[in-house]
């Protein structure tokens, strides 16, 4: 059923260089062979995207929404075929992948609704005033798509952050054609999803260049894609080194383009004293559930937990230790990721106390691990704050809340920051909040950072290096903004104005002479 | 009255290196000597800004608006003192500078109103749904300030794009402290405006670090400012070389920051055939008025005009020639700018036909000049499309509208693109519009690009290299967005939520569970 081809503007492409996926659990090579895209395929996909852009970017919102809904239905219909292939390629369990498929198609449908709601166009109308000196012109503003977007599939979310993931969904919603570089660890999963999109493009009567999938293993492929002059923006979720490289390529172009790279986060969690006193054991157990979820392979994994040393923190640690020792080994996404994890925790073991380690496994399994150190030691060694992608975390035992604040103030930008607190902690928490707002894109109370809801108010972003561009989110409807830019029309005759900029355009929210008017 | 000092967080600073302003008309050195800021002053201004940021960024909107209005009133009250000094330093005429002062204070007041309207906070509330599987959290989003902003004063707008210009006004509106590097060609003008802001900061009871002015002539000063770790974003209007240098410095930082540089634009104007036939002479005369306005020293100067060759275009050219020959020489902003202009038009004279030249003047005066060439010649030499800052323009005589489209399609990003058209041109104009939307941030019908209204719907921006970041505008209320980033609060207790994120916050527009709710 899998063909191992690239999909370039609807055409299958077969060349003469190939790679294989590997079963994450067994290390076995999986069929079929996948064709490596090269420079010619990048150029073709991008020029086709540029050609399709004029049509796709100007499509009526209802038509673009219908296309996205059709793609969502086709991905959903892949059902067990998709899950089974993704399980082998990623080692992720069935329930997780089924949930991820639901999230992926739900996300596409949310963006389809958002296209029709029209807020993203940010229509503004300032009427003329010929009597003013000098005469005031008629000005009307709307957002238009940036142009074709390059999307890099992520290894840890083979569906929700890959071929039809959040970057693709929000780029489509903005009216941007998309060229995906599939992650080489799950090419079969990518092909299945790509085929669903290609079918939706064709059945919607859209130009085939609206979507392409390029498969391949080389860094050069990604570099060529980012440097292609037809690409107008980049979406990426992955390693810090990978994201930084894409930023450099994008800046070195004759025409620099924005890169939205989500890269690195240790997601600090603060245990406020009174809440800790109340619920040390429950918190300790929940901590281990969060740090080991999905073998710890989440961008929002709680890598650093901060508490004030004392009897309550000892109880927390004891509960976490007990919970962690019974965490089974879990297959990691690939042998390479497992090896990297082992190397990083190995370095940590030299300088922090290992509290507990989970069960040993076979193949590319990762063992959950919990470390602890003092606030003073943490402050003396910046390496403690580096991300360790996998099921591991460090509990920092601080002298007091001032030291907690000092540690948080010195940290790099984060996707999330979390407070566990109760009423009695509010005053102390209020002192920490400005630090947390500077630090992170999302501040969580009494939860754990893993789990990212796809809604209007979600921010999955944060200051560098959590992302390359802290002014944005990659999850939630605000993600559309990343791929838009404003255009103003001055004194343009009605006959030439886009429909949504006409006075009283039905269904379109408009800011008219400074007042909001809601389309009915 | 002028002291020649820097203003660092309200403190006057005097060191041991000095520079002088020069009378733009006479070349005479003006008193007083101005102190050159160095690395220590940069570091002090930026650390004071960072310290003030927590207070200023969390100020109630009404208080921030009141501060901005007070600063506007104080700048307006400078009246003739400001105009006289600016006339000497820039050579710009009195009426222009009085208009520019009006625009500057009007702009500050517009941003003050915008702060109170609250839209810029983009509040979004998604209520919890504990019954959902998994349970849906409560999520609330608002925009917060990025942090201290470095603003570079522009030579060509000593008020509206300088110390209290659009970048400063929008950064203040966003809640960002500001460190200005004043343009060395008008340090006295900068000092007068800075003193007004410093007084407004003090009288509003704000921390002094909210605003600093650094004066100096060296590139190193600007580089140190952009590289200071306390600076979170940069606003700049100036040359392409200058903007590109700031972009490089910002990207090379350990933590890269956004640069909003407005750099280079030739603002193409298309004369559609039927409109040209109707009004060739009037258009020719108006063209010369626009290209020579303010000695052509506008970012939106019409540097390139495109028409289809023929009898009507000959009439246009004849009218433009007649008008241009009677344009008096005008003092340019500085001798350096005049020399650069002479060099660029000298190169142009070697390859294009000079249609007309305006009167000769003395000192740093620039002579208005009009050139013409063929569409074919233009396409063969990319140098024709380079900006020539000054009162000069090129009329491109094209074979047909297809060649016009070809030329526009090949141009770099622009601030504006203009169509002169009548009913009979609509169909042909409709074909050009997608090209113009890709090309520019503002599309003008039947006007000239000089003149930028400060309103909600204005876009003064455009694809690279018109600006470094085409996703933004530096004029109009949408400019606030440049200095904001989103933060989400998950399951945060009401007692700790910012007021505007509370259910039913008075006066605050909120997107609640996907529906707009308007504060009353």
Q: What is the pLDDT of residue A350?
A: 87
Q: Mutation target for A interface from B488, B492, B502, B517: give the one with most A CBs within 10 A.
A: B488
Q: Which of B476, B464, B461, B468 is nearest to B234 (CA)?
A: B468
Q: Nearest 5°: CA angle at B229, between B224 and B230? A: 105
Residue A134 CB-half CA count within 13 A: 14
Whether A96 has a pLDDT exceeding 60, the answer reads yes
A16 contact partners, CB below 8 Å, separation of at least 6: none
**Nearest residue to A170 via CA among A192, A143, A208, A205:** A143
CB spacing of B469 vs A139 below 8 angstroms? no
Token pair of A347 as six digits: 């370095």
Residues of chain B contacting residue A58, judged by C-beta atoms under 8 Å apart: 434
Could you say which of A147, A434, A468 has the minimum Cβ distance to residue B54?
A434
Check CB contact under 8 Å for B124 and A444: no
**Helices and strands: H and E segment counts in chain B:** 13, 23
B277 CB contacts (<8 Å, ≥6 apart)? B312
- Matching residue, tokens 């203040």: B172
Mean pLDDT of A471-489: 98
Give me the total of CB pairs closer than 8 Å, taking one residue from chain A and one from chain B. 209
Confidence at residue B241, expressed as pLDDT on a 0 to 100 scale: 95
User: Which residues of B are designated catalytic?
Assistant: 262, 299
What is the rounded CA–CA span in Å between residue A115 and residue A64?
A: 8
Helix then strand then coil, in percent of chain B rounded to 5, is 45, 20, 35
Q: B409 to chain A: which residues are within 8 Å by CB?
A: none
Q: Print the SS3 string covering A429-485.
A: HHHHHHHHHHHEEEEEECCCCCCCCCCCCCCCCCCCCCECCCCCCCCCHHHHHHHEE
| Confidence label for B13 from pLDDT (cuts 50, 70 and 90) | confident
Nearest CA in chain B to A426: B496
> How does pLDDT run across A436-470, given as a tens digit for each residue?
999 999 999 999 999 899 999 999 999 999 999 99
Please tell me the predicted confidence (pLDDT) of residue B518. Answer: 79
pLDDT above 90 for A324: yes
Residue A195 sits at φ, ψ, to 5 deg, of -60, -40
User: Rounded CA gap, A226 and A257, in Å?
Assistant: 9
Chain B residues near residue A437 by CB distance under 8 angstroms: 144, 487
Is the pLDDT score of A520 beyond 80? no
Answer for the pair B466, B438: CB distance below 8 angstroms, yes or no: no
Q: How far apart are CA A9 and CA B245, in angstroms?
A: 38
Peptide bond between residue A465 and the one before it cis (omega within 30 degrees of 0) = yes
Closest CA to A151 of A472, A477, A482: A482
Question: What is the nearest CA distance from A456 to chain B, expressed in angstroms?
Answer: 7
Is the CB of residue B406 less than 8 Å from the CB of residue B290?
A: no
Q: How far apart are CA A343 and CA A351, in angstroms?
A: 14
| Minimal Cβ distance to A496: which of B144, B429, B492 | B429
Contact B442 A137 (CB under 8 A): no
Burial label, B133 (beta-carbon count in 10 A; 0-12, 13-18, 19+): exposed
Average pLDDT over residues B443-462: 96
The answer to whether A247 contacts B256, with C-beta atoms less than 8 Å apart, is yes
Interchain contact, B441 vs A471, CB within 8 Å: no
Mean pLDDT, residues A45-57: 97
Q: Quick check: A267 pLDDT over 90? A: yes
pLDDT of residue B363: 81
Among A46, A299, A365, A398, the active-site one is A299
Instruction: Determine whether the interchain pair A458/B144 forms a contact, defined as Cβ–Cβ distance below 8 Å.
Output: no
The pLDDT tens digits of the residues spanning B308-364 come to 999 999 999 999 999 999 999 999 999 999 999 999 999 998 899 999 999 998 888
Q: Are A331 and A359 in contact (CB under 8 A)?
A: no
Q: Is B439 helix (H, G, I), strand (E, B) or coil?
A: helix
- CB-nearest partner of B495 from A122, A426, A442: A426
Asked whether the beta carbons of residue A441 and residue B490 sit closer than 8 angstroms, the reply is no
pLDDT score recorded for residue A15: 80
Q: Let me know: does B81 contact B136? Beta carbons within 8 Å.
A: no
What is the Cα–Cα distance from B85 to A60, expressed in whole angstroms? 54
Sign of CA dihedral A336, A341, A342, A346: positive
What six digits make up the tokens of A361?
């496994």
Contacts of residue A479 in chain B, CB cutoff 8 Å?
none
Following DSSP, what letter does each residue of A227-260 receive, concatenated?
H-TT--EEEEES-HHHHHHHHHHHHHSSS---EE
DSSP B10-67: TEEE--S-EEEEE-TTT--EEEEEEEPP-HHHHHHHHHHHHHHHHHHHTS-HHHHHHH
Helix, strand, or coil (residue A165): coil
User: Considering chain A, what is the average pLDDT of its residues?
Assistant: 96
| The pLDDT of residue B53 | 97
Strands (E), B291-352: 304-308, 330-331
Residue pair B194/B180 in contact (Cβ under 8 Å)? The answer is yes
A373 phi/psi in degrees, rounded to 5 = -155, 175
For testing the chain A interface, which of B457, B501, B502 should be mutated: the one with the most A CBs within 10 Å? B457
C-alpha span between A507 and A344 (Å, rounded): 54
Instruction: List the single residue in B141, B443, B469 with the smallest CB-CB distance to A457.
Output: B141
Q: What is the pLDDT of residues A356-405, one digit of tens each?
A: 999 998 888 999 999 999 999 999 998 999 888 999 999 999 999 999 99
pLDDT for position A519: 64
* B415 CB-side CA count, 13 A: 28
Q: Residue A503 pLDDT > 90, yes or no?
A: yes
Residues of chain A in contact with residue B122, where contact means CB-CB under 8 angstroms, are 478
Strand A510-512 to A515-517 pairing: antiparallel
Nearest to A441 among B465, B487, B511 (CB): B487
**Residue B335: enclosing H or E segment and its boundaries?**
helix B335-349
**Are A25 and A363 a contacting pair, CB within 8 Å?**
yes
Q: How far apart are CA A239 and CA A361, in angstroms?
A: 25
**Residue B189 pLDDT > 90:** yes
Residue in the structure block whose two tokens are 């002094």: B208
- Whether residues A144 and B437 touch (CB distance < 8 A) is answered with yes
Contact B445 A470 (CB under 8 A): no
Beginning with the edge strand found earlier in the chain, give each strand of the sheet holding A304-308 in spatial order.
A353-357, A369-374, A392-398, A304-308, A269-271, A414-420, A440-445, B484-490, B139-145, B123-126, B510-512, B515-517
The reply to whether residue A518 touches residue B514, judged by beta carbons under 8 angstroms, is no
Residue of A nearest to B458 (CA): A488
Q: What pLDDT digit, counting tens, does each position of B129-182 carry?
A: 999 988 999 999 999 999 999 999 999 999 999 999 999 999 999 999 999 999
Chain B residues with CB under 8 Å of A509 CB are 516
Q: Which residue in the block uniquely carries the two structure tokens 């998950």?
A: B490
Average per-residue pLDDT for chain B: 96
pLDDT of residue B519: 64
B520 pLDDT higher than 60: no
ipTM, two decimals, is: 0.97
Lowest mean pLDDT among A4-13, A58-67, A123-132: A4-13
> What are the CA-CA distances from residue B510 to residues A436, A444, B295, B515 (Å)?
23, 20, 47, 8
In the predicted model, what is the mean pLDDT of residues B263-267? 94
List the one residue out of B211, B220, B119, B141 whose CA is nearest residue B518: B119
């Amino acid at each position: 059923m899998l063909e191992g081809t690239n999909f370039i503007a609807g055409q299958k492409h077969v060349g003469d260089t190939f790679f294989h996926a590997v079963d994450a659990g067994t290390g076995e090579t999986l069929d079929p062979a996948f064709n490596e895209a090269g420079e010619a395929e990048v150029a073709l996909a991008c020029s086709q995207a540029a050609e399709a852009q004029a049509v796709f970017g100007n499509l009526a919102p209802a038509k673009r929404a219908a296309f996205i809904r059709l793609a969502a239905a086709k991905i959903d219909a892949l059902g067990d075929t998709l899950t089974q292939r993704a399980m082998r390629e990623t080692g992720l369990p069935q329930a997780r992948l089924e949930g991820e498929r639901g999230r992926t198609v739900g996300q596409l449908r949310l963006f389809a609704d958002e296209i029709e709601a029209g807020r993203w166009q940010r229509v503004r109308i300032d009427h003329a005033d010929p009597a003013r000196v000098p005469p005031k012109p008629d000005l009307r503003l709307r957002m238009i798509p940036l142009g074709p977007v390059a999307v890099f599939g992520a290894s840890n979310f083979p569906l929700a952050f890959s071929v039809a993931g959040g970057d693709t969904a929000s780029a489509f919603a903005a009216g941007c054609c998309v060229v995906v570089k599939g992650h080489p660890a799950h090419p079969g999963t990518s092909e299945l999803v790509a085929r669903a999109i290609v079918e939706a493009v064709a059945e919607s009567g859209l130009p085939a260049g609206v979507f392409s999938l390029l498969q391949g293993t080389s860094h050069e492929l990604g570099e060529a894609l980012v440097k292609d002059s037809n690409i107008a923006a980049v979406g990426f979720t992955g390693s810090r080194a990978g994201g930084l490289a894409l930023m450099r390529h994008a800046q070195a172009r004759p025409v620099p383009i924005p890169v939205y790279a989500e890269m690195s986060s240790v997601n600090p969690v603060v245990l406020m004293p009174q809440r800790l006193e109340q619920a040390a054991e429950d918190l300790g157990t929940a901590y281990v559930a969060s740090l080991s979820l999905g073998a710890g392979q989440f961008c929002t994994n709680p890598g650093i937990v901060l508490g004030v040393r004392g009897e309550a923190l000892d109880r927390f640690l004891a509960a976490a230790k007990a919970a962690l020792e019974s965490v089974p080994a879990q297959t990691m996404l690939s042998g390479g990721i497992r090896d990297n994890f082992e190397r990083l925790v190995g370095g940590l073991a030299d300088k922090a106390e290992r509290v507990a380690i989970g069960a040993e496994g076979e193949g590319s399994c990762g063992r959950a691990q919990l470390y602890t150190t003092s606030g003073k030691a943490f402050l003396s060694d910046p390496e403690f704050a580096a991300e360790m992608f996998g099921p591991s975390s460090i509990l920092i035992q601080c002298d007091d809340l001032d030291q907690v604040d000092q540690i948080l103030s010195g940290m790099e930008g984060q996707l999330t920051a979390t407070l566990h607190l109760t009423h009695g902690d509010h005053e102390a928490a209020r002192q920490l909040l400005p630090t947390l707002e500077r630090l992170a894109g999302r501040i969580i109370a009494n939860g754990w950072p893993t789990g990212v809801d796809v809604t209007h108010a979600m921010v999955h972003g944060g200051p560098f290096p959590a992302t390359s561009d802290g002014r944005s989110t990659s999850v939630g409807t605000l993600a559309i903004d990343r791929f838009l830019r404003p255009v103003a029309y001055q004194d343009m005759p009605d006959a030439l104005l886009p429909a949504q900029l006409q006075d009283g355009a039905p269904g379109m929210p408009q800011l008219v002479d400074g007042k909001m008017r809601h389309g009915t």
